Structure 1
Amino acid sequence: METIRVLHTNDLHSHFEHFPKIKRYLHQAQNDKTVDQVLTFDAGDFMDRSHPLSDATEGQANIQLMNEFNYDAITIGNNEGISNSHQVLEKLFDHADFPVVLANLREEDESMPAWCSQSKILTTKKGTRIALIGLTAAYPMTYGPNHWHIKMLKNTMDDLLPKIEGQYDALIMLTHIGLRMDRWLAKTYSQIDLIVGGHSHDLIPNGEKVNNTWITQTGKWGNYVGDIHIEVDDEHHFKKIVPTTVPTASMPAEKNDEKIIQAYLDKGREILESEKVAHLPAKFADDKDIAIEASLDAISDYAGVDLAMLSSGLFITPFKSGILTKYDLQKALPHPMHVVRTTLKGIDLWRLVMEIEKNRHYLDKFPLQGMSFRGKIFGQVYYKGIKVDNRHRIVYVNGKEIDPEKEYKIATLDHYVLIPFFPTLSIVGDNEFLFPQFLREVVGDYLAKTYPVDKK
């Protein structure tokens, strides 16, 4: 008989305000003498570049803090895999004290990335062999342009499971694929004993059992920590699994917590404020419309097209006149979004514009979450190069009525392809995702070129 305690987190998203409490809870649990073994895992999206410190250090601050959590293994989420450039991800784990398991990501030459392994076998003090397999959400449209080859889940599992057959007594999956796909895994692969999941931000307070597999997930942002009790029989098989979740709000605070949390923000701000981007003229002072117009110019220039669209809700704050720093840009545009160059026939561009105009009033105050959005509401759509006569339903492109048969290229965002309000983009758009820079980097580079800082 053996008892194992599994601690787990997912979708922390750089919510460092919870880290002091989580760290103390994990350390106390990791010293639990009432069980034979304590294991600690994370299921991805631990970093989010909307936090100044994550952005300023390209995630290295996250790695340093996670080292203090004493993880036994983690997998990555889309925020690590897509919001970072290929180069940044290659170096992200250089100083990690924990292994990364990730079975469905490859370099472009099909080799395994040097910073991860498909699986790992952990052997407990009492000899139970636990296989760990990591999976992340398979997004070919965005991993491909970032010079990664993402593998589909079924192909990955069907290839890997026979290779490790007989090498383990129990199988734990670390997944960043969402609850719906976790349920599919549980139904499809009876070998799986436990899924430590993430991505869909579902809180499953006491786990969910699908066939013989337990699925766990702790919501988002470190609001909860997962804590699972496992009983292992004498043949080293998991006999009983009891998942629980512990609200971080219920964990005791200490007097220095707020000081530590503020220090994370201050350090990130200090680094970003030291990097000057542009010297903006007086017209930018607290004028969000001017910021949007400049950003439309930026993304159209980056995509090499003369049409563009952006929504006002992306702009959390306007830009300011005078010196604009990376911190100012990070505050204004915290979203890890990428520019997309979309090619549409004229009739389809007309339809896209009609979708936007139809939904305009509804989206103006629409509260939006997920899909890389870090704001509050969607807001109004602004165009570059497009005018609309709503009364007669006529669309003009660069001053001329749209040609139904002509092809047009427009700079959009991956966000607009993902949201359900403009289906034309995802259904008939030829969408080219542009990497590695994301939105605020594109805007920052354009402003730096247009309004350079006086080096004197």
Structure 2
Amino acid sequence: MMNSMLWWFVRISVLLGVGTVGTVLPQPSPAGTGVLIAKQPSELFPLTIIHLNDFHARFEETNAFSTRCKPDEGERCIGGYARVVSRVKSLQREYADRNPVYLNAGDNFQGTLWYSLLRWNVTAHFLNMHPADVMTLGNHEFEHGIAGLVPFLDVIDSPVVVANIDDREEPTVQGKYTKSVVLERGGRKIGVVGVIHHLTNTMGMTERLRFLDEVEQLRLELDVLKASGVQHIIVLSHCGVEIDRKIARELPDVDVVVGGHSHTFLYNGTTDAFPDDAEDTYPIVVAHPDGRTTLIVQAASYAKYVGRITLYFDEMGNVREWEGNPEYLDETVPQDPEVLTQLVPWRELVNVQANRMVGYSAVMLDNSDCSRGECNFGNYITDGYIDYFATEGQKNPNPNQWTEVAIAFNTGGGMRTSLRAGNITFDDLVTAVPFEDTVDSFDLRGSDILDVLEYSASRYGTTDMMQMSGMRVTYDLSRPIGERVVSVALRCQYCQVPRYESLDPERIYRVATGTYIRNGGSGYTMIPQRATNLLVGPVDITVLERYVQKMTPVITGTEGRITVIGG
């Protein structure tokens, strides 16, 4: 009976976010956290990690879709940098006796009109108002190349750590970051080592930088840190939760991985009042055969949450207990008054463009299903590409063709947020599609399009899956890799009445997509390798603004462009 009761106690404690339960009994937490907190034993060393990831230029409050909040339309305003700073400061005060460390896991650039207009300047200004103790770089810090990153690195007050970049051929960034830093808290040495996704060269303008395997480079740097007497190790990662799991499994000397990139929301308890559903518990726990434990934390994205976890270490430096949860930054969280004051002059610059009315949508343009099949926002974006090439993009009008490009595709990651039904401002559009890609066209052989679609099938469940216009594809995910495309029909270009025809592997087709995918981003390396007759088009936001104006009210739905079997 006693063993049964003990099992249930341990089970309930784990579900509620408490670490390994020994002789210390959990005590109720402060109201509203939904977590049980272990009473701190005097022999355990506490370390509190406060963390932010994937901020993406959300300087202002947002709505639940992470676009600019419109309270006059009844929207509930959450997040924003003033709330981030307010809550970080209060957490640093509340946990002052438990050795707080504030970390930023990257992707501070890009995501709203604030960044599109004001670039690194506004980002550095506000991050320096309350600097993180350590930060790493995300792939979107390379949005405007090395020239767009170096000035930021020159002025940012936080030490920047990345261990897996080879910069020998990019001297302009040399010396502007380190592989790791050592912090001291409570007489202990804490090593913080950074990593960025090894495929960042496919995600941004990284020029001559090389990105190396995360685990291999971490292993080398951990040896350096341990040799210097570091007692606790934090990996600050912008690699995504799956690579974070790999890091945790393969490197037992790591105590905690503080992550970003995948926008993963981890939480203990109910999320009914939040804009996100939890993908796993906070933290994810990886147990090692030698009895050590590595934890993984991440706090979604877009300044909706600030993460906070307190770890308790024994005299051997092993994590024995932990407690915490992301803090939801709803309207009850006060906004930092100094940040609010500083926002005013910058907002005046942004508002010149932001509030311009573009059009109206009668439907929600939804990006939530783009990783698992067809989504209406993906349809709308790619239809906009085709509309451009069928109208003002006609360079060589031909009576035998109705358009210069009849098929288009782009990944679900190209739409960063959903847009709710209602008025669409220029700011809404830029926030949803913020990358400033050009809309390019080129020739691909039918067999190459098949390879593109096979790769898309392999990326099911991620934002790398293709959305499309002028294409109808059926995937069978139960089939072997390379054989998952069951059928493809493509809209004709050389016809007077558009219709769908079976793909011909030997035929040359004219295709449209954005710069990022055209350059091989997200793993679509076959496109730049095989595309011919490239024509660079206008910036995507210009194309889409005109398409919204033309199609108002927007009524795009889903219509069977993508069928997934076995998903």
TM-score between the two structures when normalised by the length of structure 2: 0.56
Shift in CA distance, 230/438, structure 1 to aligned 2, threshold 3 Å: farther
Match of 2:303 among 197, 222, 226: 222
Q: Which residue identity is paired with 2:324?
A: P
The separation in 2 between residues aligned to 1:329 and 1:294, in whole angstroms, is: 22
Quote the offset at 1:196 in angstroms. 0.6
Quote the offset at 1:271 in angstroms. 8.1
Gap runs ≥5 in structure 2:
1-42, 62-79, 268-281, 288-292, 356-382, 397-403, 420-425, 472-489, 547-567
- Report % sequence identity: 19
The separation in 1 between residues aligned to 2:56 and 2:160, in whole angstroms, is: 17
RMSD across aligned positions (CA): 4.9
- Is 1:40 the counterpart of 2:40? The answer is no
Quote the offset at 1:89 in angstroms. 1.4
- Is 1:182 the counterpart of 2:290? The answer is no
Task: Answer whether contact 2:131 2:158 (CA < 8 A) is retained.
Answer: yes
Task: Answer whether contact 1:128 1:236 (CA < 8 A) is retained.
Answer: no
Quote the offset at 1:219 in angstroms. 1.0
Task: Answer whether contact 1:341 1:432 (CA < 8 A) is retained.
Answer: no
Other-structure match for 1:364: none
Other-structure match for 2:501: 393
State how 1:440-451 maps to structure 2 within 5 Å.
440=539
Quote the offset at 1:51 in angstroms. 1.5
- Is 1:85 the counterpart of 2:181? The answer is no
Gap runs ≥5 in structure 1:
274-286, 301-305, 318-325, 360-367, 396-401, 448-456
Other-structure match for 1:8: 51
Shift in CA distance, 297/159, structure 1 to aligned 2, threshold 3 Å: farther
The separation in 1 between residues aligned to 2:511 and 2:219, in whole angstroms, is: 40
CA deviations 1:131-180 (Å, max 9, x no partner) are: 11111122143457633211122332233333333221011011111111
The separation in 2 between residues aligned to 1:8 and 1:308, in whole angstroms, is: 46
Match of 1:412 among 513, 520, 527: 513
The separation in 2 between residues aligned to 1:95 and 1:308, in whole angstroms, is: 47
Other-structure match for 2:529: 430
The separation in 1 between residues aligned to 2:242 and 2:432, in whole angstroms, is: 34
The separation in 2 between residues aligned to 1:255 and 1:169, in whole angstroms, is: 35
Shift in CA distance, 327/221, structure 1 to aligned 2, threshold 3 Å: closer
Match of 1:100 among 131, 149, 160: 160
Task: Answer whether contact 1:51 1:265 (CA < 8 A) is retained.
Answer: no
Quote the offset at 1:88 in angstroms. 0.5
CA deviations 1:220-243 (Å, max 9, x no partner) are: 111111111133445665443323
Other-structure match for 2:192: 132
The separation in 2 between residues aligned to 1:268 and 1:372, in whole angstroms, is: 33
Other-structure match for 1:53: 114
Task: Answer whether contact 2:409 2:512 (CA < 8 A) is retained.
Answer: no
The separation in 1 between residues aligned to 2:54 and 2:118, in whole angstroms, is: 19
Quote the offset at 1:197 in angstroms. 0.6
Equivalent residues, number:
388
CA deviations 1:42-73 (Å, max 9, x no partner) are: 1111222x422212221221121111233101
Match of 1:293 among 384, 389, 394: 389
Task: Answer whether contact 2:113 2:434 (CA < 8 A) is retained.
Answer: no
Quote the offset at 1:413 in angstroms. 2.8
TM-score between the two structures when normalised by the length of structure 1: 0.68
**1:59 counterpart SS class:** helix
Which stretch shifts more, 249-258 or 203-212? 249-258
Task: Answer whether contact 1:292 1:310 (CA < 8 A) is retained.
Answer: no
**1:35 counterpart SS class:** helix
Match of 1:196 among 258, 279, 292: 258
**1:249 counterpart SS class:** coil
CA deviations 1:62-121 (Å, max 9, x no partner) are: 12111123310111112113x222211122222111011111123252767332111111
